[in-house]
Chains A and B, each alone.
Chain A
Amino acid sequence: MSIQLRQTLVMTRANFSSLPRRLAISLSMALSVALVVAVLAGFLAMAKGFEKALAGAGSPSVAVVLGGGTNQETGSDIPADAIRSIQSMTGDIGVVRNGAGGLLASRELVVPVDVARAQDEASTTLALRGMDVGGPSIRNGVALSAGRLFAPGAREIVVGSRIASEFPGFGIGDAVRLGAVDWTVTGHFAANGSAFESEIWGDLDAVRAAFDRQGQVQSLRLRLTGPSSLATLNARLTAASTSPLVAVSEADLYIAQSERISSLILFFGWPVTLLMAIGATAGALNTMMSSVSDRTVEIATVRALGFSRFSTFLATWFEAFAIAAVGAALGILASWLVFNGWQASTIGVNNASTGFQLTVNGDVMLTAGMLGLAIGALGGAFPAIAATRLPLTAALRARG
């Protein structure tokens, strides 16, 4: 073991052994770091959870055709003649066909509907998606958890499991008023916690009729023969209609929306956390200056015996790191216990409420933990330098 390392180890040990003398202030430093880490972890978990919900909804093997020059379902409009042109395309257009040679496709329309969680609560906007009867089977990872699918043309709906569990009156067989008419709930579906579970699905024609949207189609979902078939489809779409049409992968559609919301969450989250981190760094600096002051005689004594400035610096810095690490660990543990799996919702896909679970995963822990350690590193650096500059004459006259 090198002489420098030996010096550092013995001084570090001396520092830690003397921690009980300054337990309160060291604990306050650890707790302030823990608070910052927990807050950041909360924001990151929110963004991560939202990303996860939307990423889980999209499949690269499903194409979503949009019209009207937009790349989102909201605002998209596909003329009826364009749909007919696509459906009548022959040859390989990159889309899976059924036994009769028709495309595996679903025309869809999303209508925002207001639903109250309870009688005395304000209503929440949910997405009612009208789709062709083949719509659910085109999607990946969707399975009926109870009941049956809606019947063609009927005022029947199936609802995602999040809605079934969070909103009253969505039990199977219940009648629910959406818009001006009542709908019967015929089934519940699960979609691995993805954004689909925040939607209500019904027959396209029934939805269009109930909301006076006759003839309107926002998007056309198509099952691709493979993720690489999207380019083939887009090449054929240019000739399908005079109006601009574009096909995007379902995965990209949802990722783009998740990035927008996640960025918004982090746009507010990071500044709040960094402001708190500045405060915690000032607290760490104060704690470590107290530590140096408390250990003046010990530091000056070993320096008088010949210990190096560098070992003095490192030992003080390690102490700051260690306290910050304890704080970071506490913050991560607290955020995991409190936030991980917490159900939340925000206005997300198609301007409707999208539910998601806060996710405290490895990335979140690492990022939040690194910030905690950075507080220790920054807050401990100046006191560590101050420790190397203590006047050694203090050791010769001080009562140890």
Chain B
Amino acid sequence: MTQDPYIALAGVRKGYRIGGEAIPIFSALDLAIPRGDFVAVMGPSGSGKSTLLNMLAGIDVPDAGSLSIGNHRLDRMGEAARSTWRAHNMGIVFQFYNLLPMLNAAENVELPLLLKPLSARERRVRVGKMLDLVGLSGREKQYPSMMSGGQQQRVGIARAIVSDPGLLLCDEPTGDLDRKSADEVLEMLSFLNRQLEKTIVMVTHDPQAARSAKRTLHLDKGQFVERAAS
């Protein structure tokens, strides 16, 4: 018996209109990702990586076709429902970390927990655990400007997983980091996938980053294409 995929896109069509011109991105995209997978998505600029990530994040919706994550049809939800769903089921790791500069590390990590009915003490305990998990214990009070890029991205990862989501979406998580920091971040993502069974979808241009994933999907002109292993 085959298990239903955790993430399922079927016949997804998506395009944009810029000025009077229609720009098609996907015409009939299909995708199935099982729970616990770690998928890297690669492809040239304009191939649709960002559009795919935006749709998986519920920030954008397909023009046609279905998009479900964990049996929830995101394409049928309104904007507010997708926002709530995102807050409870998904973490996002940004290329440029997107930490709020006026909040310290602990406060940045705490942000998603403010959307949950937790007491201040419960939130503090969970933030502490997450910072410990990403190796930043003792740096709770440090502001982003006082941290290296690698440390900031680890705060970003802690923020993404603090509400214990099943899915992590990573948008070029190593794109702004040196090799050593990038390796540490990738190691952490692998750990989260292996040990905590997070399903991870990572958009990247970096082949070395893609090798951390269990499999790599190549997007080109709005279609997944087969690539020979390098």
Interface, chain A (partner B; CB < 8 A): 3, 6-7, 10, 13-14, 17-18, 297-298, 301-309, 392-393, 395-400
Cα(A297)–Cα(B111), bound, Å:
15
Chain B residues, CB < 8 A from A307 = 83, 87, 111, 115
Cα separation A397 to B92 with both chains bound (whole Å) = 12
Residues of B within 8 A of A (CB): 50, 53-54, 57, 59-60, 80, 83-84, 86-88, 92, 94-103, 107, 111-112, 114-117, 159, 171, 176
Do A399 and B96 contact each other (CB < 8 Å), given the known contacts A306-B87, A308-B83, A393-B50? yes
Ordered by A's residue number, 30 sampled pairs between the chains whose C-beta atoms are within 8 Å are: A3-B114, A3-B116, A7-B114, A7-B115, A10-B103, A297-B98, A301-B98, A301-B100, A302-B111, A306-B83, A306-B84, A306-B87, A306-B88, A307-B111, A309-B80, A392-B59, A393-B50, A393-B59, A393-B60, A395-B94, A395-B98, A396-B50, A396-B53, A396-B92, A398-B98, A399-B96, A400-B96, A400-B97, A400-B98, A400-B101
Per the bound structure, the CA–CA distance linking A213 and B94 in Å amounts to: 94
- Taking CB as reference atom, which chain A residue is nearest B99? A400
* Cα distance A392–B83 in the bound complex, in angstroms: 11
Q: Which residue of B80, B96, B111 contacts A305 across the interface (Cβ within 8 Å)?
A: B111
**Which A residues touch B112, using CB under 8 A?**
305-306
Determine how close the nearest CB of chain B comes to the CB of A224; give it in whole angstroms: 69
Contact check: which of A6, A14, A304, A400 meets B57 at CB < 8 Å? A304
| CB closest chain-A residue, reference B112 | A305
A398 touches B96 (CB 8 A): yes
Number of A-B contacts (CB under 8 A): 84
Nearest A residue to B88 by beta-carbon distance?
A: A306
* Chain A: minimal CB distance from B48 (Å): 13
A3 with B59: in contact, given A306-B87, A393-B50 (CB under 8 Å)? no
In the complex with contacts A304-B57, A306-B84, A396-B54, A3-B115 CB distance below 8 A: yes
CB-CB < 8 A to A397: which residues of B?
50, 95, 171
**B94 nearest CB neighbor, chain A only:** A396
The secondary structure that dominates the A interface is: helix
Known: A393-B60, A396-B92, A396-B95. 14 other contacts (CB 8 A): A14-B100, A303-B83, A304-B59, A304-B92, A304-B98, A306-B84, A307-B87, A393-B59, A395-B98, A396-B57, A396-B94, A397-B171, A398-B98, A400-B100
**B176 partner residues in chain A, CB cutoff 8 A:** 399
Bound CA span A301–B98, Å: 7
Which of B50, B95, B100, B171 has the most chain A CB atoms closer than 10 A to its own CB? Answer: B100
Nearest chain-B residue to A18 (Cβ)?
Answer: B102
- B100 and A298 form a contact (CB under 8 A): yes
Contacts of B59 in A (CB 8 A): 304, 392-393, 396
Q: What A residues does B97 contact at CB under 8 A?
A: 400
Q: Which residues of chain A are within 8 angstroms of B80 by Cβ–Cβ distance?
A: 308-309
Which chain B residue has the least Cβ–Cβ distance from A303? Answer: B83
Q: Which residues of the other chain, B, contact A399 by a CB distance below 8 angstroms?
A: 96, 176
